[in-house]
Amino acid sequence: MNNNSNNITADVVKAFYREYPRLECALEYGGDPFRLLIMAILSAQCTDRQVNAVSEALFKRFPDAASIAESEPGELERYIYSTGFYNTKAKSIRACCKTLTDEFGGAVPSEMSDLLKLGGVGRKVANLIRGDIFGLGGIVADTHMIRISNRLGLVSSRNPVIVEKTLSNLVPIELQSGFCHRAVVFGREICKAKKPKCDKCFIKAKGLCGGV
Ligand code: SF4
């Protein structure tokens, strides 16, 4: 990290907020920490749209951690079937909900070390929760963030933990979750993995990236 990285990051963050002024988490969780946690686990290898589509029926039947922890084997699977890898996800979600009820009184914890005790929760989900729910900041080093930060020259590593830690030092805490949500949209629409739209890129137009 150096002053140049700091300056580029500040300009990129500013440009993201200007381009996407009112952008929130694509998962429609209605402000409920438990819902965001479960939806984030379901979003692995699945579109946010599909996770949103199953969520109404899912949370009507399972409004809290206890209802999932106590459910009959196979029932949860039926509700999340269309999100893919449903057996693995159901196993993780059940384990997650059991730990939530046994150790945290059913509430979603805020500490990274506690979040990482929950089934299906890795650093990506934990950072999403810490940033969006608790306002503690958190860089979600997903595939978009890893690609974009490398292309911008802010990081030279594909290791998610290195990307997370490097960007955590460059982006102010209060902007981290907003920055991550914007990076996802930017990565899907413009800085795509294959054939990025460099000719239409507002980051390039500001001289913050030379393109690939
Ligand atoms: S110029 Fe191209 S590579 Fe650079 S950020 Fe924009 S889309 Fe991505």
pLDDT tens-digit series, residues 24-79: 899 999 999 999 999 999 999 999 999 999 999 999 999 999 999 999 999 999 99
Burial bucket for residue 40 (CB in 10 Å: 0-12, 13-18, 19+): buried
Identify whether the C-beta of residue 83 lies closer than 8 Å to the C-beta of residue 50.
yes
Mutate which of 16, 147, 152, 201 for ligand 1? The one with the most ligand atoms within 8 Å of its CB, which is 201
Q: Does domain 33-132 have CATH number 2.40.110.10?
A: no
- pLDDT per residue as tens digits for the range 132-160: 999 999 999 999 999 999 999 999 999 99
Ligand 1 proximity of 201 Cβ (cutoff 6 Å): yes
CATH tag, 3-23+138-205 = 1.10.1670.10
Any atom of ligand 1 within 6 Å of the Cβ of 212: yes
Distance 78 CA to ligand 1 centre (A): 41
Instruction: Please state the domain extents for the chain.
Output: 3-23+138-205, 33-132
Say how far apart CA 92 and CA 211 lie, in whole Å: 40
15 lines ligand 1 (CB under 6 A): no
Quick: pLDDT tens for 96-118. 999 999 999 999 999 999 999 99
Mean pLDDT of the chain: 96
Q: Which two tokens stand for residue 169?
A: 């030092």
Query: Is the CB of residue 153 below 6 angstroms from any atom belonging to ligand 1?
Result: no
Among 12, 144, 191, 202, name the best residue to mutate to test ligand 1's pocket (greatest count of ligand atoms within 8 A of Cβ): 191
Question: Would the CB of 187 count as within 6 Å of ligand 1?
Answer: no
Model pTM score: 0.95
21: Cβ–Cβ under 8 A, 6 or more apart, which residues? none
